[in-house]
Structure 1
Amino acid sequence: MVRPTAVIGLGRSGISAARLLHAQGHRVWLLEQRQTPQLHGTAAVLRQEGLHVRLNCSLASLEQLNPQAVVLSPGVCWTEPVLVQLRRRGVPIYGETELAWQAMASAPWIGVTGTNGKTTITAMVGHLLQQAGRDAPICGNSGAAATELALDCHGGRRPDWVVAELSSFQVEASPTLTPRIGVWSTLTPDHLDRHGSFAAYGAIKAALVTRSAVPVLNGDDPQIWRRRNRWPTARWITCCGGAALQPHRQAALSIEEGMVTAPTGPLFSADVLPLPGRHNRLNMLLATAAVLEAGLEPRQIAAGLRSFPGVPHRLETIARHQGVTYINDSK
């Protein structure tokens, strides 16, 4: 009998990963540590689709299952002892995003990572491409699960671009994911309980950029800037004026006298984006650099930025009353 492929986690990404594998002809087992009435209902539906589901089982049950491969949901720690043992025995273990990449590698990806800013940049890149008439779905850490989109592509969809927000958890478990364009927004200490150290966390983020054909990087972030020698051909952006990066690098985009400016000259006013804050200007420059690489014209980008609504819970204007503006920044 063919050894099964195990999918860990009965959440949205785990379910879509299992369905994709099943559509590809794999024998699939879904394993979930919890059991609730809702999960029992979900499991019953999946069993009717031809999937095997086990609830209330630990990762240790992988030893008995003897899978040919294991697909992890993002919340499952990469360094769990049973996963380490399986890797040592040569069992492929990778994340749900890696599975999606393998299924959609023919489409160009824009991968966005960073401690902060990645959700807004991902939404902005997707919005700009879509407003310009491109089929550019958003997936990963925001939007659809990456394997949900991959399942659409298995059914015949051919997007112009895949725009993926990628957390450190997803990058860590996606060793061959190679975006056409890789955007890195910021780097500050985060998820150290999972990754062990700031150096390890930063190395995971850097790995995605290194694998990207065109890195797009924030020259105003000191932790990213200090690593600049790793990416001699990267596109660097800065809010501080292009001279701020010289003589080390020429800015691909900067803000000069209120204008978003490329080495060839001004492109459009920096005030086209209706969102407040210097950080949103950085987000705008990173998104603009990415979509320029994707083939958009400055006039298309300016028009898209004017209509960008922002992201919920991030400096989101929710009401104006008697001269007072109420803003939700609860993220």
Structure 2
Amino acid sequence: MTAARPAPGPARFDDPADFKDARVTVAGLGVSGVPAAKALLQLGARVTVVNGPAGDRQRAEAAALEALGAEVRLGDADTLPDGTELVVTTPGWKPSSPLFAAAAEAGVQVWGDVELAWRLRGPDAAPWLAITGTNGKTTATRMLAAILTAAGLRTAAVGNIGVSLFDVVLGEPEGGPYDVLAVELSSYQLHWAPSLRPHSAAVLNLAPDHLDWHGSMAAYAADKGRIYTGNQVACVYNAADRETERLVREADVEEGCRAIGFTLQAPAPSQFGVVDGILVDRAFVEDRQNRAQELAEVADVRPPAPHNIANALAAAALARAFGVEPAAVREGLRAFRPDAHRIAEVAVVDGVTYVDDSKATNTHAAAASLAAYPSVVWLAGGLAKGAEFDELAARAASGLRAVVLFGADRAVIREALARHAPQVPVVELERTDTGAMSAAVGTARDLARPGDTVLLAPACASMDMFTNYNQRGDLFAEAVRALAAAGGQEEVGPADHGR
């Protein structure tokens, strides 16, 4: 690791007062764009929002912003409005978008919502403990927030997790200012956040994902690695993932910042790990060469699947980097309640366990889920986002009872299974309406045997057939509960278990 370079970006907008009467273009409506536009209007900026083709939701959002004083241009996403001094983009817009090419030609900088929120922090703003990774970001961030809360700190889980950073940065929280923030960041957000400098940060893992947006694995990894830039106390990495360690080695950090690894094995000095079922800290102790600090038991992590224990270790490492006492780590992990659609056990029907992991939207996440169960009827498919499935099929083959495939890119998975798991029965569903999920569950029921797990871990995005992964998981759970009701079984859920 090397000393940090000065923060990039124009001095024109280094102070919130600089935004008064500034002409700012916001690219995109939605979860990030609407809060960004409202924040800029609150600062007195002249805001123009551009967006592509509009449905009912976008038109309603546009009307609300126009009532606040913004200009909204629906259906014209490529043209840079005259006089634009700054572009603020929502995460989904690709770097190759014509709007950004026009901005570059005009010498106008493009920021993301995270960059804008970072710039708007006050001088006494709460430090950020930041988390990214291909999988596990939301779970680890919420775990971190639970630990910080258990330590008596005022905190919030914000960012890509669905809670707007602007509400935290510009709002007046009830009960006083925050002490520290747990911030989930996507690769999209990090790409557009050149000035971000967290107190400490973690990259949980790296696997091919969103390559259609980034253009290559190297570009994707580089954007993830931006989270380490300027770290003050700790760069937390996955000792089992050499790419995350490489990103730490290449990061520009503050003098004295340490590289802290986490592992599911016994930890080396400056690592967090597991010894005889105990999560331990061998980094933030006085004599890390010879001793480790007990933090919690594996049983305190729900579920105690390997990838979830890794999430807990990363969250614990960031909390300890901030000075949290060991007892708060245990208390926070015990208090943590995972989000829906993350290894959620829905029901046991005729001796078969049905598990909803609809959030497993890529191969890396699906592999973690499949590894948690010895005999699986796997429900998979959707939009592959350019991913390849050979490695996943080879790793999962020995634990597969059968596979039920659906969605636009199911053939890619079928072909990988044919190469690496030819002995596994595969059933493809051609229907593409949302009722396909009920059909998939029915097919899985016929294929499963007592003791098996029917696992929805699609390894793909959902938008070819469903509104989002939440709807996909909800429909799976609805179909399973219908099976349970028909058979006089009792459902187990909602025991939402987290990645």
TM-score (norm 2): 0.60
Looking at structure 1, the residues matched to 150 and 217 of structure 2 have their Cα atoms a distance apart, in angstroms, of 38
Whether the 8 Å contact between 2:131 and 2:184 is mirrored in structure 1 is: yes
Aligned in 2, Cα 1:81/1:56: closer, same or farther, shift over 3 Å? closer
Looking at structure 1, the residues matched to 173 and 48 of structure 2 have their Cα atoms a distance apart, in angstroms, of 20
**Partner SS, residue 176 of structure 1:** coil
Looking at structure 2, the residues matched to 223 and 38 of structure 1 have their Cα atoms a distance apart, in angstroms, of 40
Aligned in 2, Cα 1:225/1:36: closer, same or farther, shift over 3 Å? closer
**Partner SS, residue 211 of structure 1:** coil
Corresponding residue of 1:234 = 259
Shift of 1:34: 2.1
Report whether the alignment pairs 1:55 with 2:82: no
Alignment of 1:243-322 (within 5 A): 243=268, 250-263=269-282, 264-267=291-294, 268-320=296-348
Looking at structure 2, the residues matched to 18 and 289 of structure 1 have their Cα atoms a distance apart, in angstroms, of 35
Alignment of 1:39-188 (within 5 A): 39-60=58-79, 62=80, 64-104=81-121, 106-153=125-172, 158-188=177-207
Whether the 8 Å contact between 1:13 and 1:146 is mirrored in structure 2 is: no
Report whether the alignment pairs 1:220 with 2:240: yes
Looking at structure 2, the residues matched to 163 and 6 of structure 1 have their Cα atoms a distance apart, in angstroms, of 28
Deviations 1:305-330 (A, max 9, x none): 11222221111233456765432112
**Partner SS, residue 76 of structure 2:** coil
Larger radius of gyration: 2
**Partner SS, residue 65 of structure 1:** coil
Aligned in 2, Cα 1:24/1:307: closer, same or farther, shift over 3 Å? same
Deviations 1:58-89 (A, max 9, x none): 222x1x42301110011111232331342243
Shift of 1:18: 0.7
Aligned in 2, Cα 1:323/1:301: closer, same or farther, shift over 3 Å? farther
Alignment of 1:174-213 (within 5 A): 174-213=193-232
Q: How many pairs are equivalent?
A: 323
Cα RMSD, aligned residues only: 2.4
Moved more, 295-304 or 84-93: 84-93
Whether the 8 Å contact between 2:298 and 2:304 is mirrored in structure 1 is: no
Unaligned runs of 5+ in 2: 1-19, 252-256, 283-290, 360-499
- AA aligned opposite 1:275: P
Whether the 8 Å contact between 1:238 and 1:251 is mirrored in structure 2 is: no
Deviations 1:3-30 (A, max 9, x none): 5111111112111001111111211111
Aligned in 2, Cα 1:129/1:143: closer, same or farther, shift over 3 Å? farther
Aligned in 2, Cα 1:140/1:92: closer, same or farther, shift over 3 Å? same
Q: Identity of aligned pairs, percent?
A: 34
Moved more, 261-270 or 17-26: 261-270
Whether the 8 Å contact between 1:5 and 1:28 is mirrored in structure 2 is: yes
Looking at structure 2, the residues matched to 9 and 316 of structure 1 have their Cα atoms a distance apart, in angstroms, of 33
Unaligned runs of 5+ in 1: 244-249
Looking at structure 1, the residues matched to 172 and 202 of structure 2 have their Cα atoms a distance apart, in angstroms, of 24
- AA aligned opposite 1:107: A
Aligned in 2, Cα 1:46/1:156: closer, same or farther, shift over 3 Å? farther
- AA aligned opposite 2:101: V
**Partner SS, residue 163 of structure 2:** coil
- AA aligned opposite 2:151: A
Whether the 8 Å contact between 2:54 and 2:75 is mirrored in structure 1 is: yes
TM-score (norm 1): 0.89
Shift of 1:291: 0.8
Report whether the alignment pairs 1:8 with 2:35: no
Looking at structure 1, the residues matched to 48 and 261 of structure 2 have their Cα atoms a distance apart, in angstroms, of 44
**Partner SS, residue 345 of structure 2:** strand
Looking at structure 2, the residues matched to 319 and 251 of structure 1 have their Cα atoms a distance apart, in angstroms, of 41
Looking at structure 2, the residues matched to 165 and 326 of structure 1 have their Cα atoms a distance apart, in angstroms, of 29
- AA aligned opposite 1:180: H
Looking at structure 2, the residues matched to 191 and 110 of structure 1 have their Cα atoms a distance apart, in angstroms, of 24
Corresponding residue of 2:383 = none
Aligned in 2, Cα 1:2/1:20: closer, same or farther, shift over 3 Å? closer
Shift of 1:212: 2.2
Aligned in 2, Cα 1:288/1:79: closer, same or farther, shift over 3 Å? same
Corresponding residue of 1:246 = none
Report whether the alignment pairs 1:21 with 2:40: yes
- AA aligned opposite 1:229: R
Shift of 1:259: 1.7
Corresponding residue of 1:247 = none
Aligned in 2, Cα 1:108/1:3: closer, same or farther, shift over 3 Å? closer
**Partner SS, residue 310 of structure 1:** coil
Looking at structure 2, the residues matched to 319 and 51 of structure 1 have their Cα atoms a distance apart, in angstroms, of 49
- AA aligned opposite 2:302: P
Aligned in 2, Cα 1:208/1:167: closer, same or farther, shift over 3 Å? same
